[in-house]
A and B are shown apart, each in its own frame.
Chain A
Amino acid sequence: MIKTFIAGLLLGLAGAGALLFYTPVVNQAREQSLIVVHPNHGNTETFHVNIPTDRIMIGAPDQAEPLPPGLDWPADEKFAAARAELFKLRNSKDAVVGVASRMAASDEVAGGVIEWVFHLPARGSAYVLMDSQPADEGYRIGDLLTGTHEFEPLTGIVTERWVADTTGFEDAPAGRIELITAFVAREFADDLPEVDAE
């Protein structure tokens, strides 16, 4: 009987150990990456934010209707020229794939700052610096400064533009912020022709 107990003990140790080791505690849900390969122009992936439905927060002083309701944004003069926003980020199939933050500010040292951080839980994060002035075509162009996980070895550009809704549907959003990424591995970046934001 003692031998059976010891056999059970070892079985319990090994079984529980294997179960804990091999059973994933966290299993992130994934959406397919919808990357389009262009002839001679690298890869692009289109994301968007539906406005106003995907906007989680607008952090800016003196808002008549704070978002989210109840937000008490600091009145400190130091933050007067800064605007922080938080969004849900969608892919081109309109599925939520992550969270994005946008920081817009201006001061004497940093000048005009417009930045995005895209956080896609199963893929990684991207830190993008946008030009402070939009291009003539209504785009704003930015560079991927750094990234994590899937985005770490990449370089490239991001364009941002406002697209107003033209469907006329009653429940349609007012429009969307369209974000197109054109990323390529750093080791191949020099081999590509110049990518025109148009």
Chain B
Amino acid sequence: MKYVVSLVLGILAGVLILLAVLYYNPLTARNTLSPLSVSDNEIITFRYSAVAADALVFTNDGESQIKPNPPKVLQLWEPTVRLTNSMVTILRDSRNNPAAIGIKISSESEKTNIVDGNVIVDSVWHIYVPGRGSLFVEQQENYWGYVREIVIPAYWSSGDSWRGNWTGNITSGPGALGTARVVGGSGVFLGLVTDGVESLRAEAYSVDAGPVAMDAELTIELPRIEATLTPDP
């Protein structure tokens, strides 16, 4: 009997050690430095509140922790879209003025693997900037840092909430440097193919409602158009 108890205790200890290693693994630490921060090119910044209640429209399967907004919006309950969220919001520029209409559609990715520290969401942005044109942003987002440093501590907290200051890049691909792929569709962006990065700045999270105070920033690099030398006539 004592061998059985010893074996069970050993298994439990092994599982706990593995979970602790995964949770505290320094190799999967959040990325706070944007690859675009060292760029010489012009950067466009779009800011928005990442709280669903602040969006014009936010919808999901209706049974998730984050509630759809407005409450009567059509929900994505069908099996194929049950793991998908859609958000429509006004994107603000760096001076906090309304600058664009942004539609973000995100789906949980089958690439998610806790062992590798990957909580992956595949998302696309459809953006229209009045007077400038439209953009499409494709990105793979990794929420492991967010889950590890905000969501899990909120569940551990006696108040079922988390408060603090957390900043991190969530874009993890498809670019080699962990950047999103941005394609211009019209206007001044026509023909543009460049990189982008989305980051989150969280201050409060509730187990009941999800993010309570959280802002996001989408930065897009605008490559310089090299001046073409024209010969003197």
Interface residues on A, range: 35 or more
Chain B: interface residue total (CB-CB under 8 A) = 65
Query: Is B83 in contact with chain A by the CB < 8 A criterion?
Result: yes
Query: Is A138 in contact with chain B by the CB < 8 A criterion?
Result: no
| B91-131 residues at the A interface, CB under 8 angstroms | 98, 101, 103, 105, 107-110, 112-115, 122, 124, 126, 128, 130-131
Contact digits for A109-152, partner B, Cβ 8 Å, 1 yes 0 no: 11101010101111001010100000000000000011011000
Partner of A11, one of B10, B80, B109, B130: B10
Chain B hits for A70, CB < 8 A = 70-72
Query: Is B213 in contact with chain A by the CB < 8 A criterion?
Result: no
Give the dominant DSSP class at A's interface.
Answer: mixed
B83 touching A101, Cβ below 8 Å: no
Given A73-B56, A88-B76, A127-B185; A12-B15 close (CB under 8 Å): yes
Query: Is B23 in contact with chain A by the CB < 8 A criterion?
Result: no
Partner of B18, one of A12, A54, A59, A121: A12
- 16 further contact pairs, Cβ within 8 A, besides A28-B110, A86-B88: A4-B10, A5-B6, A8-B12, A11-B10, A12-B12, A12-B13, A16-B15, A25-B114, A26-B112, A27-B110, A69-B72, A103-B103, A103-B134, A109-B132, A115-B185, A121-B107
B interface residues (Cβ-Cβ under 8 A, vs A): 2-3, 6-19, 22, 56-57, 59, 70-74, 76, 78-84, 86, 88, 90, 98, 101, 103, 105, 107-110, 112-115, 122, 124, 126, 128, 130-134, 136, 138, 174, 183, 185-188
Closest 5 CB pairs of A and B: A8-B10, A12-B14, A70-B70, A110-B187, A29-B79
